[in-house]
Amino acid sequence: MSPGLGERCGACGSTTTLSVISHTVPRIEIKSLDMIPFSESFSGLFDEDNDEDDESHESDDEKSVDHEEYQTRNEMSYNVEQFSNVRDLDPEWDDEDVAEVMVLSPKERYSKLPTISEEYDVVFAAPNEAHGSRTLPQEKPSVTLADFDIIPTSGYPMLCRKRSTEKVYVIRTLDRWNSCEERVIMEVIRAIRAPFLERIHWSLPGVAVGEEEKTYLVSESHAGNLIALMGSRPIAPADALFYVCEVVEGVSSLHAANIIHRDLTPSNIFIDHKGHIILSNFCNAAFLAANKQCSTPPSAAIEYQAPEILLGWAHDFAVDCWSLGVLLHFLLTGTNPVVDADGDNSVRSRILSEDVAMNDALPSPEAKDLIERCLERNPVLRASIGAIREHDYFTNVDWNGVARKTICRFPFCPPLRGALRPM
């Protein structure tokens, strides 16, 4: 506050004191001017490699120090402030050669984010990349092959018993690379947790000498399949409807996951300890990419294969619908419609060209019509899995109840005994 100045009022004669406020103008104190051109003032921030001869004479220690300094400079970032009119800062600035000022100040440096150590074993990375997907990291298994005892059996697949629980499982041996798609399919089925599909409990790598390239899939064991249940005898129409509904539900889940089974036969349909079906054996299964059909050789059970598979043509989900038609005919009549009982014609010719003879023992026109729609040789005209679910044969079916396993009709329950004891 400056000293007051008096001013007398002409009307009343009083004196008013006015205050004068001193405004301090900011000034830039310049001790010396840097005469280096602005374009060259940052040359030290860049690594110039033009003079190779000079670098050849540097010692290793000097190169190491220069490299560390170079990294430090490259990791440094700056705040930049630009003043286009210096007189905004100092009205008394009178150097006409300097009309603009740029201020660079280093930003605060933060510590780097920690890297994630590779503590996980990624399973099936190569086959998943081939299908355009990525596999989540999985922890190394806590269960190993040493935890199981192999049970001698005459057939395949083998059985094993887990030592800690005495439970019996099925164990399959796969070549790690030649059977990569089957392993990925089994992992997908385990992930989607859909009913009526076989699930693996463990995927274990081989550890013995010479078995490093093998993988062992351990899954549930079941007492028997539909062949063991039926033999060559038909089952009651209501029982056939019960089983076919669960097969259709299982196939629907596979198709929703872009998986074709391609080997739907009674020998690959097992009965669990509660009486429900389990679709098994995915060694011939395949992924079907969007708008892309696949082609592979047919399996051994050609009497359930669609014509396009026998011909080696590209195919899609329709091949499973053909197999469903043959399966339904077998359940209702005990016979396969493409197998000639007299042996006059081969199975292949009846599938590809001859008329498929329906058994007169079919219990209803709805069942016959569904089978005929499934056994359409043209896959484009063949009934899809969605059309099968909506067919009149399934008019009274509660599909939600089927998926929840609340349908209480169990035609056959395996006995709880011996080496095939369920889990």
Q: For 272-300, what is each residue's pLDDT tens digit?
A: 888 899 999 898 999 987 667 777 766 66
Distance of CA 221 to the CA centre of its chain: 26
Domains of the chain: 119-221 (3.30.200.20), 222-423 (1.10.510.10)
0.85 surpassed by pTM: no
Query: Mean per-residue pLDDT for 29-57?
Result: 53
pLDDT score, position 133? 45
> What whole-number distance in Å separates Cα of residue 414 and Cα of residue 220?
14
**pLDDT tier for residue 181 given thresholds of 50, 70 and 90:** confident
Pairing mode, strands 5-8 and 15-18? antiparallel
- Lookup: tokens for 212: 């490093």
Sort strands 269-271 and 277-279 into parallel, antiparallel or unpaired: antiparallel
Which has more pLDDT, 243 or 6?
A: 243
Q: Is the dihedral of CA 102, 106, 107, 108 positive or negative?
A: negative
pLDDT digits (tens, 9 = 90+) for 319-330: 999 999 999 999
Please, what is the average pLDDT of the chain? 75
Write down the pLDDT at residue 101: 72
Lowest-confidence pick of 250-264, 341-355, 393-407: 341-355
pLDDT at 407: 80
Best-predicted range by mean pLDDT (64-73, 211-220, 320-329): 320-329
Confidence of residue 7 (pLDDT cuts 50, 70, 90): low
Whether 319 contacts 342, CB under 8 Å: no
Q: Which of 35-44, 240-249, 251-260 has the lowest mean pLDDT?
A: 35-44
pLDDT over threshold 70, residue 115: no
Token pair in block for residue 337: 């419609």
Asked if residues 353 and 335 have their Cβ atoms less than 8 Å apart, the reply is no
Three-state secondary structure of the chain: CCCCEEEECCCCCCEEEECCCCCCCCCCCCCCCCCCCHHHCCHHHCCCCCCHHHHHCCCHHHHHHHHHHHHHHHHCCEEEEEECCHHHCCCCCCCCCCCCEEEEEECCCCCCCCCCCCCCECCCHHHHHHCCCCCCCECCCCCCHHHEEEECCCCCCEEEEECCCCCEEEEEEEECCCCHHHHHHHHHHHHHCCCCECCEEEEEECCCCCCCCEEEEEEECCCEEHHHHHCCCCCCHHHHHHHHHHHHHHHHHHHHCCEECCCCCHHHEEECCCCCEEECCCCCCEECCCCCCECCCCCCCHHHCCHHHHCCCCECCHHHHHHHHHHHHHHHHCCCCCCCCCCCCCHHHHHHCCCCCCCCCCCCHHHHHHHHHHCCCCCCCCCCHHHHHCCHHHCCCCHHHHHHCCCCCCCCCCCCCHHHCCC
Cβ within 8 Å of residue 229, ≥6 positions away: 235, 271, 412
Q: Indicate if the pLDDT at residue 411 is higher than 50.
A: yes
Report the candidate in 297, 310, 305, 299 with the shortest Cα–Cα distance to residue 336. 305
pLDDT band for 333, please (50, 70, 90 cuts). very high
Local confidence band at 412 (pLDDT 50, 70, 90 cut-offs):
low
What are the C-alpha distances in Å from 89 to residues 73, 79, 99, 174? Answer: 30, 19, 12, 79
Average pLDDT over residues 303-332: 94
Query: Counting Cβ atoms within 10 Å, is residue 339 exposed (0-12), middle (13-18) or buried (19+)?
Result: middle
Percent of the chain past pLDDT 90, that is, above it, reads 31
Q: What is the mean pLDDT of residues 183-188?
A: 90
In this predicted structure, what is the pLDDT of residue 139?
46
Confidence of residue 89 (pLDDT cuts 50, 70, 90): low
Q: What is the pLDDT of residue 11?
A: 52
Check pLDDT > 90 for residue 174. no
